[in-house]
Amino acid sequence: MAAATITVPQTEMPLSASYRGKVGMWCLIVAESAIFSIFVVAYLYYAGKSISGPTPAQVLDIPWFNSICLFSSSLTIVLAEKALHHGNIKRFGLFWFLTIALGVIFLIGTGREWYGLIYHDGLTVSSSLFGTTFYSLVGLHAFHVTVGLIGLTIILIFTLLGALRQEHAARVSVFAMYWHFVDVIWVVVLSVVYFIAR
Amino acid sequence: MADAQPILPPMIISPEREGTRPMVQVLHDWIVTVDHKKLGLMYFGYGIIFLVIGGIEAAIMRAQLAVANNHLVSPETFNRLFTMHGTTMIFFAAMPLVFGFANYLVPLMVGARDMAFPRLNAWSFWMSVFGGLILYFSWVGGFGLYGAGSAPDVGWFAYAPLTASSFSVGHSTDYWIIGILVSGFGSIGTALNVLTTTFCLRCPGMTLRRMPLLVWMNAVTMFLVLVALSPLTAAQVMLLIDRYLGGHFFDTQAGGSAVIWMHFFWIFGHPEVYILVLPAFAIVSEVIPVFSRKPIFGYNIMVAATVAIGFISLSVWAHHMFTIGMTSYANAFFVASTSAISVPTGIKIFNWIGTMWGGKIRYSVAMLFCVAFLCQFLIAGLTGIMLAAAPFDWQLGNSYFVVAHFHYVILGGIVMAIFAGVYYWYPKVTGKMLSETLGKWHFWLFVIGFHLTFDFMHIPGLLGMPRRIYTYDASRGWEIWNLIVSIGVIFQILGIVFLVLDLIWSYFKGAPAGNDPWDAWTLEWNTTSPPPDYNFAEIPVVLSRRPLWDLKHPEDPDWKYE
Amino acid sequence: MLAAFLLTSSGLLLAQPAGPSPIPSIFDPHSTPAHDIYHLSLFVLSICATIFLVVFSLIVYAAFKYRHRPSDDDCEPPQIYGSNQVELAWTVIPILIVVVLFLASARVIHAVEDAQFPPDAIQVTATGHQFWWEFEYPKYGFVTANELHVPVSANGQSLPIHIMLLSADTDHSFWVPQLAGKTDLIPNRRNETWIEPHEVGIYVGQCAQYCGTQHAKMLLSVVVQSPEDFQRWVQEQKAPAVMSPQVAEGRRVFETNACMNCHTITGTIANGRFGPDLTHLMSRKTIASGAAPNDEQNLRLWVKEPDAIKPGSLMPAMQLNDHDQDALVAYLMSLQ
């Protein structure tokens, strides 16, 4: 009927439904940021208020290598996205794998750090306020890295099975947004834990 | 373009399913559904069930308090009752009800076929359900099946250190934490979904400035869910760390702070009030114009006021904490921000009155509830202003005056608006009209009961009666007021009985509704009642805020004036 | 819908000018901070009542005047989309009201919270316990419970009492409506409040922050006395406990049972701080934080079966035989 004759000006068109992944991910990032900000506030509020136990300055070393690995994983994931966009699945798989490797190195580094803190410095969740807030905040981030790695690995498996194609580029880049978010949060956690409240 | 007819008259779609199918199969359909309308209805049913459960808990408490020195329930049971009543009503009655409306109406009103993420929508709903089940499992599961079970007894805001493992032995508090945590994930999923639907699935021509106010207000609500519910999730994870891993976040023995829990809780808790009340505003903003036969007065200002409320509501939380000994500067700041929020809220009330002004108001039950809403929300706002004056709050805070105030907001405002929404959209959902006679019984009984209960509940607060006490001495002079308050409950229960009767009776015997029984203007009335699974046979195109007005009045369409 | 009327009228009518009352109405203040709040509350109430009358009349007027009448034709009313002038008016006027309310509140906040005290002001440290109140007078060096004694400020003499608020366990709130607004007692935090009562008498209040099972019976009273009576009471409290040979048996029971772990009686080996100080138990009118009158019958019941008076209180049933029980109650009754 008449509907076909209607032309709505471009300025009156809403965002296309194909943006919904991005918008949804942005919403998730807003919610996650709120969660992290509460943990950051708790960390800063309790900084220096521990009754006992080691202080951050005594036991914390700045995890330079770890941080560089995590930050460069943001770069490799961008390169992977580009490759997929151009349809180069092999190149995508390579950079995607690199991203996972860098994430795993980060987690191993965190594990080594925690091992030292627990067994050499006696810092545990229950030992002092510093321990509680430190393991919670860094652990919350590590948890997000782990979730990200699981997602990355699933996509890698699809790639290896040959199920991933160029047309999935948009969806993959929605997931990459999450990984970038995890990286950005590390900037916050790193500066709060290892610099500001040291 | 101006001559074109953007909205098609509704298509007649013949029912595609055969009439009778086995019960199991119907049930299976509902459980596995990802349809936003079915999920919306399930949210609604789930909310009503918990509304009744929470109401029973309230009725028992009122029976206990009706006379002084009563021994109907033990102090332990009473403390569990008010904890469960508060938690249930906020998280498992009010939130599902408003989410139900959002789920059902937002896609229809923006002219979409479903939510942006239908499967996420189903996941969110079932998470909310599991949250409620976990919370209620505590009645039998806390310590096993001894006596009254062990439901949580820490109050719905669960102040530390009462929740610490040393004061709350056993698992009752854990059920409280995990129940809300799980349903919170569901709420965040729903928020994300509704926002994405609003941004990405609007039909062609529906710019942000042409969105129905209901969609606008729900969008702001969902934004608040994202930024305000997440802090509660974070705080509850901290509480779990304290209780299970020996952490010290809220452990006052180890240098932790009881006050920081209050901050974290109320950073969620106050926006939560707006998470519940904005969808109520949304319903009222749709119903009043249709029954006054006029467009909403000051659409742009209404949108601006909604957004302003959303932002200001994030900065008022510590008015729940005027008595914790904050500095005079902090108290003054929260007096200022809390009073400031009354300005956009007042603007809304004036705009609703402006919408009625000069109209031809048709008093169906839905409109009656809207007028009751206006009067009660006005009083709730004014007692809110009294409580916002910090020194006055030092007297009124944590007294029965506060209890009366927030019940005025929640029951007198939010629930009355939800009732208006039920009477307004029931014909769309079922294809049958609700009985106006039963509806008027419901209205008058409930409104009389409400005013008996909550008008008089202010008075014992002014006479020094604190909340959350299971009994009181006759010498305090509170008895007569408490008795009146408890008598009002009977009327409210009767009102609810009439509502349920009306819902059931009309489903089978109600008059057929047709597509557009109220002569309304938004897109949901342009499809069949009930709408088909795909909502619209053809995606509509709109040119104004009232597309159906344009359709019905081609000589004087709205888009000429917007 | 008449709530605002009810609030103002009932509040004012119920205010009894007679002095301390068993009904702790906030509209019957007898102390400086409560008075300041009372005046602010009248101001806020009158503004709110005015707003209510105006807006409520508008709603009622619109609802009746513009109702659809059977005689009306079926055409739609004029479609009005809004008016910027009107919107501006109902934005600016509320803003002005909000500013006035803010300034009025800020003035009282400053007057109450930032009050200065003379160095010789009476100091009391109030500690909230589940479910009773401990009052320590650091300058006089004694501790009592549940009934706070303070001197009156009358005849041009100002004797403000500065109260430090602490908590031993969970959150509590100190609220005696006729004397001052409430202030919470929070563990690991020092709060303070003050009172300056103008009239002699007993003022009642109770814990106003949910603190556990027996929150309801964490009652509190403030005994306001003339300065002379107050000094006499202080001297009595400072004296050590009575050591009467007639009740030596009861004292032995007290000292050889769990009583001494939680309660203090100066001059004996009992120095527990978990329960109220019993040195001058019989100088108090009530037991169990106001849950029952302090007489022999109730004391006996309290020792034998605390749950009969206050279910959920942390006082254990002492499981004494009749002989010990009689001796113990006799001893307690001697603690004047």
pLDDT in tens, C80-139: 999 999 999 999 999 999 999 999 999 999 999 999 988 889 999 999 999 999 999 999
- Count A/B contacts: CB-CB distance under 8 Å: 142
Residue B558 to residues A48, A146, B526, C6, C315: CA-CA distances in angstroms? Answer: 63, 53, 17, 45, 74
Smallest CA–CA distance from C73 into chain B, residue? B360
Distance of CA A51 to the CA centre of its chain: 32
First to last CA, chain C: 54
Residue C54 to residues B20, B212, C47: CA-CA distances in angstroms? Answer: 57, 30, 11
Using CB atoms, list chains with 3+ pairs below 8 Å to chain C.
B
Contact (CB, 8 A) for B156 and B87: yes
How confident is the model at residue B151, as a pLDDT? Answer: 87
- What are the chain C neighbours of B342 within 8 Å (beta carbons)? 94, 98
pLDDT beneath 70: ranges in chain B:
1-19, 142-149
Higher-confidence position of A6 and C214: C214
Contact (CB, 8 A) for C76 and B293: yes
Count CB-CB contacts under 10 A for residue C46: 11
Structural element, H or E, at residue B54: helix B36-65
Q: Which residues 263-282 of B have a C-beta within 8 angstroms of A?
A: 264, 267
How confident is the model at residue C168, as a pLDDT? Answer: 94
Inter-chain residue contact A14 with B5, CB threshold 8 Å: no
B333 part of contact set with chain C, CB < 8 Å: no
B343 part of contact set with chain A, CB < 8 Å: no
C19 part of contact set with chain B, CB < 8 Å: no
- Could you give the ipTM of this predicted complex? 0.93
- pTM (2 decimals)? 0.94
- What are the chain B neighbours of A23 within 8 Å (beta carbons)? 116, 195-196, 199-200
Separation between Cα atoms, residue A97 and residue A104, nearest integer Å: 10
How confident is the model at residue A197, as a pLDDT? Answer: 86
Contact (CB, 8 A) for C173 and B398: yes
> What confidence tens digit (pLDDT) does each residue in C40-81 have?
999 999 999 999 999 999 999 999 999 998 888 778 899 999
Residue C124 to residues A93, B173, C42, C180, C231: CA-CA distances in angstroms? Answer: 73, 35, 31, 15, 15
Nearest CA to CA, how far is C290 from chain B (Å)? 10
Inter-chain residue contact B248 with A128, CB threshold 8 Å: yes
- What are the chain B neighbours of C165 within 8 Å (beta carbons)? 325
Nearest CA to CA, how far is A5 from chain B (Å)? 7
Higher-confidence position of B552 and C18: B552
Count CB-CB contacts under 10 A for residue B317: 24
Smallest CA–CA distance from C177 into chain B, residue? B464
- What are the chain C neighbours of B292 within 8 Å (beta carbons)? 66, 77
- What are the chain C neighbours of B338 within 8 Å (beta carbons)? none
pLDDT (mean) for A158-171: 92
Contact (CB, 8 A) for B83 and B154: yes
- What are the chain B neighbours of A5 within 8 Å (beta carbons)? 4
Separation between Cα atoms, residue B422 and residue B414, nearest integer Å: 12
First to last CA, chain A: 70
Inter-chain residue contact B201 with A17, CB threshold 8 Å: yes
Copy the structure tokens of residue A29: 């990032």
C175's CB contacts (< 8 A; 6+ apart) are B398, B464, B466, C181, C182, C205, C206, C207, C208, C220
Separation between Cα atoms, residue A117 and residue A44, nearest integer Å: 20
Which one, of C184, C183, C233, C33, lies nearest residue C117 by Cα? C33
How confident is the model at residue C4, as a pLDDT? Answer: 47
> What confidence tens digit (pLDDT) does each residue in A31-86 have?
999 999 999 999 999 998 888 889 998 999 999 999 999 999 999 999 999 999 99
Contact (CB, 8 A) for C71 and C218: no
Nearest CA to CA, how far is B553 from chain A (Å)? 17
> What confidence tens digit (pLDDT) does each residue in C213-235 have?
999 999 999 999 999 999 999 99
> What confidence tens digit (pLDDT) does each residue in B450-491 have?
999 999 999 999 999 999 999 999 999 999 999 999 999 999
Judge whether residue A138 has pLDDT over 80.
yes
